[in-house]
Structure 1
């Protein structure tokens, strides 16, 4: 296995806006079980000692079907890069000129046996030559990025060691990786069980370490066959494969595209801005614009496909004494919005529940940010490995959850809610759910909720007395929420918070996370009032 990455050189990383996620606290490790029989996503490995074989097994389930051979893939992601087509044609023409051309019935210096180390050296040298040849056609310097691989050394920043059998002497962190690539000498390794899954593993690490990364582009080269990949919150997609020694122009365009793509084209969230050593977002609230300064990353789910919840501690510019929490997640569009429910709860005066400050569907240049837009309208039904039976919706007899409660059946063809995917009752918090285990054609929408209460998990209480007092406050919050007609349904040690900071104006203790909450129906099918409907609302608790 040979792995190649395009990355930023270290001196420039200091000027970027990306925050490296620190590993969780040791005392948190003991509170989670690494693997259970109900484990469906890799986010559950975040606070455990990871084992490669276990991560691979669960990641395979998380990613589901990885669709390959999609036409228009290159145009969709590389067509956005300014001047790329013209420059690639000119550079490739130069590659075929001279007494010793770089390309003549194949690339000069290509290792005939596709030996790993030889291919790596060839790739690195050719990438540098292509970048140099392209300097006349692009004002943006390409020396900021270069290929990297590390022989038998783990990339920094992963909970599990990722030993990469490749490359030249260099050290970097996953937060610096822009484009992961997987090289294998055998063309037959171009399969889901080999090169594809390996690349998915690296995409997971990149997404986990870069808190505003929305998607990751990458590539595989098996023998001389290359594919371009895109990993997002629904899984992985790939282009048609092509032989780099036969389609030299496409290879040039791919390498230059990776070198020239701007941050948004590489998958970073453009709603985050960096200036004067700070990161911030801007929102329009109550008719005026507000700038929210990012203080730190609180949580980043370690997964590819799923809700991928990320939380930041923040404050309004000029008001550092009032903490805010920004929560981003990728939700199924048919799910009710947590932000709207929180706004209702706050307006009703519910106590000891995180209070609403703002919510929105994230907009990218005036368009809802969702996976379908990220994919540029690519249709998985055009994939070479697409099978209609993989995309059939679940049986209509399966229940569907809505904000109004659960019903025993749904109309034929309606997809199950994400809160029920893979299980009749929720076993765990689905920060990353099994998005394509059944192969259903789906979408996820990028939603943002901002809260004006902040605390720490209840198990971090300074004393038993404080712990009991906080637990009592959380129970009061749950009761207050029930009186407002809403059932939380996701009580866990991470959703019960304590506030022991005398300078923090938040509740002394509070419940958070209404992702799975529903409105109770007080009148059942039989017409009997004062009890839950026959849809059987349930309460989930995890300790």
Structure 2
């Protein structure tokens, strides 16, 4: 909606309508098939000093709603995770906005002669959507949100097309968030990067202790806020699309090491990135191939140091010794974790703290 050149949405808060003014586009993922996530910077009408973020995306109907999980995480006081403000299923002219009914108008595209049949999913990946009692959406779920499989993981893979099991449906969902920042690789200094990463590790431990697992630690899901006038968290985790409650994964802590490694080989300053063909392949590798590639990087200290010296940018090369120490902690004896190590969070944070102190002394 637009009034006096200002675009806004209306949401229901505490039983009354409230306008949220839409500002600039922060991110737009253009795609034909996918979540097509779009984020806008926004604020409550009359309160421009309180930043909000509106996130619209097309989610598989049977996936748990991110808004429900964020609401519960915020209610439990979990720190350093993006805070909840509002969520809803988007409607257009009073009709729930989904692919199957509202976009295609009930058209069964599987009847087309050139229909590309999708990969079936195992029965273990198909669940019934649930709603958390304390944090339900302000709009009820549409009747079309039944019988669709969960999406595959975000990582692409390549296999032969097979017979389709069912036609998935995507629903237009909206989440309004209370924290605004920039991706961690845009930190203004190496010290700011290390401090933000340390805080994000704490942010991962906090919901983990509360019974939630993030499941998508990546370079664009760790945020930093260096604006003194921005009341958002100084650093925080975002994107709980893949999160699960009451689930454990002893491997996810390793992802923070790989985020730092990725930043160090791809960025020569906060605004100067580059493509490294050897590692760019990781974006397209299947899970097994990716695991083997990473093992080749971290399994031997001599190999790791050689790879770091050859590929770290000059800006981050002073951190090699500290990142190698972090590697030895996260991958002890280059072995596999078979059970969760709760003490790993503290040891990782301590190394990052000491690395930051070392940087301060070197730059003093």
**TM-score, normalised via structure 1 length:** 0.40
- Return closer, same or farther for 1:403/1:395 CA change in 2, 3 Å cut-off: closer
Which of 225, 236, 257 in structure 2 is aligned with 1:499? Answer: 225
Instruction: Name the SS of the counterpart of 2:56 in structure 1.
Output: strand
Query: Which runs of no fewer than 5 residues in structure 2 stay unpaired?
Result: 131-146, 260-364
How far off is 1:383 after superposition?
A: 3.2
Which of 179, 198, 206 in structure 2 is aligned with 1:472? Answer: 198
Which of 398, 408, 418 in structure 1 is aligned with 2:151? Answer: 418
Q: Equivalent residues in 2 for 1:34-49 (5 A)?
A: none
| 2:104 maps to 1:378 | no
Instruction: Name the SS of the counterpart of 1:490 in structure 2.
Output: coil
The answer for the alignment partner of 1:19 in structure 2 is: none
**TM-score, normalised via structure 2 length:** 0.59
How far off is 1:367 after superposition?
A: 2.0
How far off is 1:427 after superposition?
A: 3.4
Instruction: Name the SS of the counterpart of 1:326 in structure 2.
Output: strand
Instruction: Name the SS of the counterpart of 2:87 in structure 1.
Output: strand
CA distance in 2, matches of 1:538, 1:338: 22
CA distance in 2, matches of 1:368, 1:324: 24
Q: Equivalent residues in 2 for 1:310-325 (5 A)?
A: 310-325=38-53
Q: Equivalent residues in 2 for 1:275-286 (5 A)?
A: 275-286=3-14
- Return closer, same or farther for 1:506/1:438 CA change in 2, 3 Å cut-off: farther
Deviations along 1:492-514, one digit per CA (max 9) or x if unpaired, are 12111111111100111111110
- Return closer, same or farther for 1:415/1:315 CA change in 2, 3 Å cut-off: closer
CA distance in 1, matches of 2:3, 2:97: 24
- Return closer, same or farther for 1:382/1:274 CA change in 2, 3 Å cut-off: same
Q: Equivalent residues in 2 for 1:277-296 (5 A)?
A: 277-296=5-24
- Return closer, same or farther for 1:358/1:384 CA change in 2, 3 Å cut-off: same
How far off is 1:400 after superposition?
A: 4.5
Q: Equivalent residues in 2 for 1:68-107 (5 A)?
A: none
The answer for the alignment partner of 1:359 in structure 2 is: 87
The answer for the alignment partner of 1:238 in structure 2 is: none
| 2:219 maps to 1:486 | no
How far off is 1:394 after superposition?
A: 1.9
Q: Is the 8 A contact 1:324 1:454 kept in 2?
A: yes
CA distance in 2, matches of 1:395, 1:513: 23
Instruction: Name the SS of the counterpart of 1:293 in structure 2.
Output: strand
- Return closer, same or farther for 1:395/1:498 CA change in 2, 3 Å cut-off: closer
- Return closer, same or farther for 1:493/1:396 CA change in 2, 3 Å cut-off: closer
CA distance in 2, matches of 1:492, 1:397: 27
Instruction: Name the SS of the counterpart of 1:445 in structure 2.
Output: strand
- Return closer, same or farther for 1:320/1:443 CA change in 2, 3 Å cut-off: same
Deviations along 1:122-171, one digit per CA (max 9) or x if unpaired, are xxxxxxxxxxxxxxxxxxxxxxxxxxxxxxxxxxxxxxxxxxxxxxxxxx
Q: Is the 8 A contact 2:61 2:148 kept in 1?
A: no
How far off is 1:469 after superposition?
A: 1.4
Structure with the largest fraction of helix:
2
Q: Which has the larger radius of gyration?
A: 1
Q: Is the 8 A contact 1:280 1:292 kept in 2?
A: yes
CA distance in 2, matches of 1:295, 1:516: 27
CA distance in 2, matches of 1:352, 1:289: 29
Deviations along 1:298-330, one digit per CA (max 9) or x if unpaired, are 000021111001000000110000000000000
**How many residues of Structure 1 are paired with residues of Structure 2 in the alignment?**
236
